[in-house]
């Protein structure tokens, strides 16, 4: 089904994928877009100054300021154009990419004490005033931002099978965030990058990578065979979106 809304799109990863499959041809299109944007910027500036009859009187500083403003605007337009181009190209070609899997009907959640769980509530900590707190709660969100770029959520399917989905915190669109993913019915495009236990997602395990994250002898025995200890597939998510909802036909209502 076609997508009606894009919630998350990792442009850099998708761009790398497009470049690798196109053999560098995508770079050529990017350069052409840049050239057209720069030419348009100069043309608009000349027309604007001419209409306002400011060409003979404009000073060097004012001209530089106006040019700088136009350059920033052009860069924004360029970034948006490139972003839309990458997204469009990706949606047209992703089914032909080896390794990109379609993940559907997953209920996402953040494991307690994980970085993703803390990231969801870190912004609200700025409202808490505790002078004697051992941690700087106001700066906790900034600390997480600089310490970790990807955040893991657990996706559970209808049959109970679980996966770990990793999200680039800078790739969310339309002001969505990690917390919103738990309340939405989404389809995901993911690349399998490894495997890990669910209990390895806690902050304690991340700061002690030699602990619960490795395969133990108990995992090879019946005593250690549990859902908590089992290895889950880890996917880096390229895209998350909402598919068009097609209402089911109601034969009875049609007959009436």
The pLDDT tens digits of the residues spanning 80-90 come to 566 678 899 99
Q: Residue 120 falls within a domain, yes or no?
A: yes
Residues 161 and 90 in one domain: no
Backbone phi and psi for residue 238, each to the nearest 5 degrees, phi listed first:
-90, -40
Residues 50 and 125 in one domain: no
Residues 83 and 170 in one domain: no
Determine how β-strand 231-243 pairs with β-strand 162-168: parallel
**CA 88 to CA 149: how far, in whole Å?**
25
Sign of dihedral through CA atoms 193, 196, 199, 205?
negative
**CA 212 to CA 200: how far, in whole Å?**
6
How does DSSP classify residue 221?
A: S
**CA 122 to CA 139: how far, in whole Å?**
9
**Which residues have a Cβ under 8 Å from the Cβ of 238 and sit 6 or more positions away?**
9, 10, 13, 14, 17, 90, 94, 100, 189, 190, 191
Residues 124 and 207 in one domain: yes
Residues 155 and 238 in one domain: yes
Range of the domain at 80: 10-96
The pLDDT of residue 256 is 42
The pLDDT of residue 119 is 87
Determine how β-strand 150-156 pairs with β-strand 107-109: antiparallel
**How crowded is residue 134: how many other Cβ atoms within 10 Å of its Cβ?**
6
* Structural domain ending residue among the three candidates 39, 67, 96: 96
**CA 140 to CA 134: how far, in whole Å?**
12
Closest of 217, 237, 208 to residue 6, by C-alpha: 237
pLDDT-above-90 percentage for the chain:
37
Q: Provide the number of structural domains found in the chain.
A: 2
* Structural domain ending residue among the three candidates 96, 130, 161: 96
Residues 76 and 115 in one domain: no
Cα angle 5, 201, 151 (rounded to 5 degrees) comes to 30
Q: What is the pLDDT along the chain (256 residues), one digit of tens a residue?
A: 789 999 999 999 999 998 888 765 555 555 555 566 566 666 666 665 566 665 555 554 445 444 555 555 556 555 556 667 889 999 999 988 989 999 999 999 999 989 898 888 877 777 776 666 666 666 777 777 777 889 999 999 999 999 999 999 999 999 999 999 999 999 999 999 999 999 999 988 887 766 544 444 454 444 544 555 699 999 999 999 999 876 665 554 444 4
Backbone phi and psi for residue 183, each to the nearest 5 degrees, phi listed first:
-110, 10
Residues 60 and 122 in one domain: no
Residues 126 and 238 in one domain: yes
Q: Residue 133 falls within a domain, yes or no?
A: yes
How does DSSP classify residue 244?
A: P
Tokens standing for residue 135: 């941690």
Residue 10: helix, strand or coil by DSSP? Answer: coil
The pLDDT tens digits of the residues spanning 131-147 come to 666 666 667 777 777 77
Backbone phi and psi for residue 108, each to the nearest 5 degrees, phi listed first:
-90, 145
**Predicted structure pTM score:** 0.69
**Which residues have a Cβ under 8 Å from the Cβ of 102 and sit 6 or more positions away?**
187, 188, 189
Q: Residue 255 falls within a domain, yes or no?
A: no
The pLDDT tens digits of the residues spanning 97-108 come to 989 999 999 999
Tokens standing for residue 88: 């469009």
């Amino acid at each position: 089904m076609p997508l009606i809304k894009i919630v998350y799109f990792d442009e850099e990863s998708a761009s790398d994928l497009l470049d690798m499959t196109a053999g560098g041809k995508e770079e050529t299109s990017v350069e052409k877009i840049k050239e057209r944007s720069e030419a348009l910027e100069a043309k608009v500036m000349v027309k604007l100054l001419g209409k306002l009859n400011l060409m003979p009187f404009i000073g060097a500083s004012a001209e530089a300021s106006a040019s700088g403003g136009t350059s920033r605007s052009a860069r924004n337009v360029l970034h948006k154009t490139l972003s839309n181009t990458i997204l469009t190209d990706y949606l047209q070609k992703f089914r032909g990419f080896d390794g990109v899997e379609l993940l559907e009907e997953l209920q996402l959640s953040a494991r307690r004490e994980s970085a993703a769980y803390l990231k969801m509530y870190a912004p609200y900590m700025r409202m808490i005033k505790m002078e004697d707190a051992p941690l700087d709660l106001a700066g906790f969100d900034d600390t997480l931002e600089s310490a970790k770029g990807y955040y893991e959520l657990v996706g559970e399917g209808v049959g109970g099978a679980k996966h770990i989905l990793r999200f680039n915190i800078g790739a969310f669109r339309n002001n969505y965030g990690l917390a919103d993913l738990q309340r939405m019915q989404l389809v995901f495009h993911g690349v399998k990058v490894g495997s890990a236990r669910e209990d390895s997602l806690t902050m304690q395990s991340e700061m002690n990578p030699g602990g619960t994250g490795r395969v133990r002898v108990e995992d090879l025995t019946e005593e250690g065979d549990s859902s908590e200890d089992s290895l889950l597939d880890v996917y880096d998510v390229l895209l998350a979106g909402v598919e068009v909802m097609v209402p089911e036909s109601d034969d009875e209502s049609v007959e009436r």
